[in-house]
Amino acid sequence: MSLRGLVLIIVLLVLFEPVAKLISTEKINPVNLVFIDNSASMSVKEKDFNRPETVNTLLSELQGSGLNNVYYLFGERTAVSSSPAFNDPVTDFGGMFSEISSSKQNIASVTIISDGVITQGSESFRGLNKLSVPFYTVLIGDSVRKKDIKVDRITTNDLIYAGVSSPLIVNISASGYSNTDVKVQLFEENSLIGEQPGFITGGALRVRFDYRPTSPGEKKLAARVTPLRDEAYLNNNSMAAYVNVLSGKLKVFIIGGTPSSDISAISNSLTADTNFTVKAAVHIGNGRYIPKDFSIKQLDSANILVLSGFPAGDTPQELINAVITLADKKNTPVLFITGSSTDLIRLRTLMPYLPFEITGLNSGSSEVQGSVNGADVNHPVINNLTESAGWNWSALPPVTQPSFNYKPRAGSAVLLYSSIRNVRTQVPLFSVMRLGSKRSAAFSAENLWRWKLNQPGNNILFDNFMISIIKWLNAADDKKQVKITTTKKIYSSGESVEFVAEAYNQTFEPLSGASIGLEIKDRKGNKINLTLNELENGLYEGSLLEPEASDYTFRGTVTYGNSVIGADSGRFNVGDFSAELIDPGTNPDYMNRLATQTGGRFFYNNDTGGLTELLRQKQNSSVREKTNTEEYDIWASNILLILVIVFLGIEWFLRKREGMI
């Protein structure tokens, strides 16, 4: 065949775009995945059973079987290893399931060695049966329920005040004991402050303490039930909790510019709440007050001020100045109630602290009702007192609104508008304002006592409304420039402590680029320094890796450039409570379900003789072949172009030599 013919054949190959296909077969060997529970509950040595010893014996058998096994530890996290330390603070099956689902290996089987008790995450194993991989579960531990008594929960009031008794409930459960006497102790800061006898019936016990803290602040409480004879586990006989103790009951002081029925109505409603102490003083002219022994210095202890018809024309300037000082310097919240005796000119000095401005005075007054502002229906003061919640504002009698010109202040929220004969106006009847760390609320009407006395049936709308207002005014201001917290108060031994911080500038915009340093102290005074790392947008985080068991306090300081922005402090505990040891039993039902629903088999720790043979059979029957196909576009190869050029060049050379050209 001539060279020119070869060139023609190559051109035809290019035109028809031929493809070369190479097929090869690859053998993929199967693996058996073995997961070992590395949590602290696996370290339990029971009277007739040693969990660590049992696990290590089983591992030795598997490792000497000659099977292609890959070993993992799971607990707080999942990692490749065959050397368990049994010290993870939690058991999380979810991480193990994620590892299995995302594996690219040819999995013949999965073996899980565990007590089956999950202390973190979900018990769900939905979707694992779609893998078509059998799970063989080995239960480690005695499946017979042991004799045990444990503290389940400590329950306290949300608001606890120094010097005031509050109920504290300790819930205890027992297994294997009935009609048994026990003793329950209560500790504050590791000092015994109370002891109560108890009698177990029906496997449960509820013990009540009257907790009366002597000083405010964050307190560490612990409840302990004394051990019983033959009790299997002692680590769950106590539980700790932290409570915030406030500096006594909330002190509300009502000041009247003149005598008014509103004062007695409000006082009566607030005293119904045992968390409040209410005092009132009314100026009756010429510097005289009811009660006679009132002095302006008494206002210094007030947490909330209620001003009714204040200031009047003859209100002493000294009293007005004291109110301004409390509102301005101490950020004491104010509830203002406009009255016909309110002196508009003298009120101007208090106007910056009110949620609306009064720009002028018209003659007379109007009888108005309240109409809830739908735009602010979710405000915490009003959200449980709307018509949708069953409260009928239109059923309340009208109140008297002096004909001032009211203008809502920027940043305020109008919760009730004035309504005249069921027609809503744009005049605010009740407004609230939160400006920085200052809070205030105001009614633009008087004769609120009518709402109190004309409540239909059991409708206690007025009482609930007043209590809701006072609680909102007293609410802690969340807007701090610096906020540093731990993710929880009580950590298990071996668990890392996570810190989260927020930093803001003076206008409460997130502060990036700040430096946050923590000084952490244990109960012996040993110090640990930690610097938090910035995440983004004013958020910072850091971890204290596996600190020793102790009570800890911390103080964090935020600096930006050469300026200190602020500081925050707190406390936490490590080791007083272990999620793993509070109930170190077994969960055979869960382990059995996991095996059954995936086509595997459940084993008790004392009957694992057939496990190795099952793994061998699955491994031998799970060899897979993977076919690899590679295609090459012959027509697009550069070699063909080179051949064309070479052949044409050779032909030209031969023709030239023969004198044909």
pLDDT greater than 80 at residue 300: yes
Confidence of residue 45 (pLDDT cuts 50, 70, 90): confident
d(CA 94, CA 78) in angstroms, rounded, equals 9
Higher-confidence residue of 373 and 298: namely 298
Provide CATH 3.40.50.880 ranges for the chain.
Answer: 257-472
499 three-state secondary structure: strand
Provide CATH 3.40.50.410 ranges for the chain.
Answer: 30-143+585-620
Q: What is the pLDDT of residue 616?
A: 94
Strands (E), 75-147: 79-80, 107-114, 135-139
Mean pLDDT of 471-490: 81
pLDDT tens profile 355-386: 988 877 777 899 999 988 877 777 878 877 76
pLDDT greater than 50 at residue 458: no
Spell out the residues 6+ positions from residue 9 whose beta carbon is closer than 8 angstroms to its own. Answer: none
CA atoms within 13 A on the CB side of 518: 29
pLDDT greater than 70 at residue 3: no
**Whole-number Cα distances in Å, 38 to 81, 85, 122, 409, 652:** 10, 6, 18, 61, 79
Mean pLDDT of 281-290: 93
Structure-token pair, residue 529? 């320094």
Provide CATH 2.60.40.10 ranges for the chain.
Answer: 148-246
d(CA 15, CA 368) in angstroms, rounded, equals 93
Confidence of residue 139 (pLDDT cuts 50, 70, 90): very high
Higher-confidence residue of 577 and 74: namely 74
Q: Is 525 left (phi over 0), alpha (psi -120 to 50) or beta?
A: left
Among residues 352, 494, 367, the alpha carbon closest in space to that of 409 is found at 352
pLDDT greater than 60 at residue 635: no
Mean pLDDT of 427-437: 87
pLDDT tens profile 219-258: 999 999 999 988 888 888 999 999 988 877 789 999 999 9
Percent of the chain with pLDDT over 90: 50
d(CA 33, CA 111) in angstroms, rounded, equals 6
pLDDT tens profile 309-331: 999 999 999 999 999 999 988 88
Predicted TM-score (pTM) of this structure: 0.61
Buried/exposed code over 602-634 (b: 16+ C-beta within 10 A; e: otherwise): bbebeebeebbebbbebbeebeeeeeeeeeeeb
Q: What is the pLDDT of residue 255?
A: 97
Q: What is the CATH number of domain 482-574?
A: 2.60.40.1930
8-state DSSP, 154: E
d(CA 399, CA 390) in angstroms, rounded, equals 21
288: number of Cβ within 10 Å: 10
Residue 135 φ/ψ, nearest 5 degrees: -105, 125
The verdict on whether omega for the bond into residue 291 sits within 30 degrees of 0, i.e. cis, is: yes
**Whole-number Cα distances in Å, 165 to 153, 156, 177, 251:** 20, 11, 32, 17
pLDDT greater than 70 at residue 387: no
Q: What is the pLDDT of residue 205?
A: 92
- Determine the straight-line distance between the first and last CA of the chain, rounded to whole angstroms: 21
Residue 214 φ/ψ, nearest 5 degrees: -95, -15
Mean pLDDT of 549-565: 92
pLDDT tens profile 58-108: 999 999 999 999 999 999 899 999 999 998 888 999 999 999 999 989 999
Mean pLDDT, the chain, as a whole number?
87
Mean pLDDT of 198-203: 88
Query: Distance from CA of residue 378 to its chain's centroid?
Result: 22
pLDDT greater than 70 at residue 457: no
* Fold for the domain defined by 257-472: Rossmann fold (3.40.50)
Q: Are 157 and 167 in contact (CB under 8 A)?
A: yes
Confidence of residue 637 (pLDDT cuts 50, 70, 90): low
Provide CATH 2.60.40.1930 ranges for the chain.
Answer: 482-574
Q: What is the pLDDT of residue 494?
A: 80
Q: What is the CATH number of domain 30-143+585-620?
A: 3.40.50.410
Mean pLDDT of 548-559: 94
Mean pLDDT of 391-397: 81
The most distant pair of C-alpha atoms in the chain lies apart, rounded to whole Å, by: 140
Q: What is the CATH number of domain 148-246?
A: 2.60.40.10
Strands (E), 91-246: 107-114, 135-139, 148-156, 160-161, 166-175, 180-188, 191-200, 204-211, 217-225, 238-246
